[in-house]
Amino acid sequence: MGDRTRLIQILLNLVGNAIKFTEKGGVTIDLKVIQQSEQDVRIRFAVIDTGIGIAANKLGTIFEQFKQAELDTTRKFGGTGLGLAISKRLIELHDSRINVDSVPGQGSTFWFTIGFKKGDYQSNRNSNNVEEGLKINVLVVDDNQINRLLINKILKKWGASADFAENGIEAIEKVETNRNYNVVLMDIHMPEMGGLEATGIIRAKTEAYFQQLPIIALTASMLSNQMGEINNAGMNDYILKPFDPRVLYDKLSRYQQQ
């Protein structure tokens, strides 16, 4: 039994980085039970990649906010330098710490251990089930492939249909061409064009469909005045990433086909 939402956020950050910084080879997620008793279990999570690696003198600073190993990281790979700072903090909230081993040019391993109470399989089996039968066609706009995969899997499970775009420009094209979405899930930060700008352009079109199409922001934080920006852009609502499936279901179900 554990904190699913936080664990997913940590792993999404680490796996997202691993994929981003790896051109050849692969990314492995390795879980190992390192200690257990009748009630508790301690698991070691490792995210291993064969990517560009990190210089030894940068290993200490990459966990600080807005720190990237190289000056050209944002230009080449994108990113904000926040992911590892957040992961580190979330792991510390589990009374643990994040570790990294890396060889430049060969790859990196980020790892941590977390202790869990063992659950009763029978009684927990259905606890995360959300209602099924969502009659809805969703356009998911997110540049992150893992997020798209994750949302697709969940939507399919609920019986919803989904289409995908990787940035704001693609989203506008799809909305204009297809005009059959009941709702758009729109990431805020994306290359080429972000979600706020894309929503503004969609809302500026005169036909009723574009004015009324529900658009829900997908956002990693409610830092600063983001709520105001989301409203001003003409978005209807927001969902925090990593999202809780129950919240997503709840918000989407308001826009079901009649």
Binding site for ligand ADP (CB under 6 A): 13, 17-18, 21, 49, 51-54, 62, 68-70, 73, 79-85, 108
Q: Measuring CA to CA, which residue among 147, 193, 198 is closest to residue 184?
A: 198
Strand, helix or coil for residue 91:
helix
Q: Which is nearer to ligand ADP, 80 or 129 (CB)?
A: 80
Q: Which is nearer to ligand ADP, 216 or 220 (CB)?
A: 220
CB of 210 to ligand ADP, least distance (A): 33
226-249 as b/e, with b when 16 or more CB fall inside 10 Å? beeebeebbbbebbebbbebeebb
Report d(CA 215, CA 195) in Å as an integer.
Answer: 10
Residue in the shown chain whose Cβ atom is closest to ligand ADP: 79
CB of 187 to ligand ADP, least distance (A): 14
| Helices 245-253/145-157 angle, 10° precision | 60
Q: Which is nearer to ligand ADP, 106 or 211 (CB)?
A: 106
CB of 121 to ligand ADP, least distance (A): 34
CB of 83 to ligand ADP, least distance (A): 3
Helices (H) and strands (E) in the chain, counts: 10, 9
Q: Are 168 and 200 in contact (CB under 8 A)?
A: no
CB of 217 to ligand ADP, least distance (A): 19
Q: Which is nearer to ligand ADP, 41 or 62 (CB)?
A: 62
- CA distances for 156 relative to 89, 133, 178, 243, angstroms: 33, 10, 20, 16
Q: Which is nearer to ligand ADP, 18 or 41 (CB)?
A: 18
